[in-house]
Structure 1
Amino acid sequence: MEKFQYGKFDSNDQPPPLLVKHLQKDHMVATAAQKLCFFKLFPIIFNDIVDLLPSFIVYKVLREILDLILSYPFRKKWLHVLGELCDTFHETMLSHFPDKIKPKAHFIREYKYMINDFGPAVKQWCFRYEANHSYFKKIAVRTSNFKNIPKMLVTRYHLKQCLTFGHLSRLQSTQYPIGIKKVRSTCFDSLMKDILLKHFNHIDFEKDLYQCNTLIYDNVEYRRCGVYVIDLKPSHEQPIFAQTIMIIKKNEKWWLLVDILDTICYDEKLSAWQIQSLARYSMIDPNDLVYYYKGLDIYTVNNLSFVTFISRLTLH
């Protein structure tokens, strides 16, 4: 686990190393986001042994439940499937971990009725509360100030907001590039140059183009080498992935030079989509993209490329 290389997006939520004392107490010291990241990548991290685990069925059922629960929009016809999955998860927990089952494992059986009565569960989760709660806990511990703690926490948070609002120019703009520099013609191969000439008609590769490493456009972060869901196939809603090769600016307008990836299949063992590059380049306007999911990292397993995320995407 310590040798596993997290991607650029997942590294923000990389969990700390698991220690023996944590395993002995059946407890993982990590934030909610770090635990979710570890859960998502569990089959990829331990891809060589997951097939040997009799209890791996518990993970697979829970992964299917989360894929449905975190979906937005949520289809009502999924409620029956969700109810059956929750009952199956409860039974597998009793079968494989009868002494470690917690009340949360019982509460999960209520999701079917909660979603039916109150709408998609993703609209009710408390992830942002957990993030702020974690920040305030760190401040309270590090300052060692136990006099009027609420005032101290509020003051520190206000100072943080002032610093953020004073230094981030992106608050006054819908686009915020990071790491801008000139583009050299040697950065493009012949196929890329053909796409650029076809898109811009006339272009001077040495003077007209700039690039950046990261572009925050309408609060969506685009990174070089990041993989994004750009569309869904109408027939069976299979994701269409594109990898950002370069983020290019010409005439004050930002464009994404992407490689449209070939989606091979969904790997049940890894809970991930297998993808392959065919060098099908295209120019995309960020303003025309429909947001389906945040940027994804590519992980290599047995010389094959995979991307993984927790959600079931849908067109309706």
Structure 2
Amino acid sequence: MQVHLALPGLLWPARALPDVMFDLELPVLSWLLGRGRHSHSSPLTFEDWLSRRFGHDAAVPAAALRLLGEDGQPGNADWICADPAHLAFEHGHPTLADPARLELQADEIAAITVALTPTFAAVGRFSLRHSGHGYIELAAPADIDVPPLAAVVGRGAAALLPRGADAARWVRLANEVQIALHALDLNRRREDAGLPTINTLWFWGTGRLPATTRAAYQKVGGGGTLARGLARHAGVSWQPASDALPAAGSTLLIEGRLQPPAQQLDAQAWRDAMVTLDRERLAPLAAALRGGRVKKLILTALGDETTLDLELTRGDALRFWRRPRSLLDVIAP
């Protein structure tokens, strides 16, 4: 059995990592880093990395695939994600808040859908699903290149600027959306309740459902609706949680608990998540590797500056003379 564990959010910027990891004991991760072979490659967003694992290039049409992962029917149309978001200003600069904090209710989803449907009449059909994910079924393809929402949370203004021949048109649409959302009573109620307002949409992941590909895995665990859509499109089994060890085959497990605190630069929450990860996720994998149940273990850590891959076989696990290593020891390419 082979297990590939993806760890978005594990790698902080190199200049910050020494302070974030100061005096942090991660015995299992250190053991794995000491026994395994590591390599570095160019940084990728989690969404781009995941799509490549399923044979797609970096321009993967995430909207169509994610919709498939929500049991939608993308068909042959072009789609674009239109996700509700909270745009805030910190120190005079715009930043996007963590979308998980929005917690949209059913009545809010209905009100936003009614308010914004006319705005998109010229470009396509807008819908907002119960998950809180928004989509536009486009009347014509859109030439716009925008990072995934999760990749720009907490980032500065430069990360928020779209590119592509149609970028100006979508900026205008975003402005119209913000005006329409500002007028909604639901945002006043959210302010009174201390909740982040819904004051913009984030457009990304445009395109139509691609040709099917062959994946390197028989099973996928975790990763949300995009991972489910990619797995479903490739004919691969998917389960929502990444906790249970599979019985056989090649499995991709996606660990999501590190990315939110890393995006928010919440060092204490990240440290707490790392301790839990070391104990609850890495320890069982290391034990399975030592015991021979897992023949090969691959860890992929994703960050803004690099992608770190760590590979171990059972033979590596038995090389007792290899000393544990800190993440700081292997972070530099």
TM-score range (shorter-chain normalised) is under 0.3
Structure number with larger C-alpha Rg:
1
| The structure with more helix, counted as a fraction of residues | 1
Q: So what's the TM-score if we normalise by structure 1?
A: 0.22
Q: So what's the TM-score if we normalise by structure 2?
A: 0.21
Q: Which is bigger in relative contact order (C-alpha 8 A, separation at least 6)?
A: 2
